Amino acid sequence: MKTFQNSVNKNVTLAAVALAILTAIAYVLIASNVLGVGDPQVAQDGGMIIYVAAGCYLVGGLLILIRNRWLLLFGAFINIMVVLFFYSMYQSRPEVIFSPGGLISKIAQILLEILLLVVLVTNWKRSK
């Protein structure tokens, strides 16, 4: 039974890493204008923040493999803040929220959040 739980936990962890990498790729595709996001109104910095976000999701996704409780908590907190910030910032602009880039990146982030919480809970239970 313990082998099965370890196998499931490993698969959930790898799925979370894959979702983080998918989110990073989605951000790069948004920045490259491959995935549309409605009328983005690019910032003065030329949209560099989107590359920073992509890099953070890539590094954060790889850090999930460590399964450090504090890193997972920090990642889950930052991830949910990004999703909430996105919805609060664009709530009056449904063309951005329901754009291909908005939907793909946010669905991946919400699924990532769920899997991060699953990894956190299973690791927490195992440590007690």
Each residue's pLDDT tens digit, 91-108: 888 888 898 988 999 999
Domain count, the chain: 1
* Percent of the chain scoring above 70 in pLDDT: 84
Token digits of residue 95: 């063309």
Distance of alpha carbon 115 from alpha carbon 46, whole angstroms: 33
Q: What is the pTM of this model?
A: 0.85
For residue 25, is it within any domain?
Answer: yes
Q: How far is CA 120 from CA 54, 62, 69, in A?
A: 23, 16, 7
Q: How far is CA 59 from CA 52, 117, 122, 125, in A?
A: 11, 18, 22, 26
For residue 4, is it within any domain?
Answer: no
pLDDT at 125: 67
User: Is the predicted pLDDT of residue 10 greater than 80, yes or no?
Assistant: yes
For residue 3, is it within any domain?
Answer: no
Q: How far is CA 95 from CA 20, 31, 38, 100, 104, in A?
A: 24, 17, 5, 10, 14
Domain range holding 26?
A: 14-32+46-127
For residue 116, name the pLDDT band (cuts at 50, 70, 90).
very high
For residue 37, is it within any domain?
Answer: no
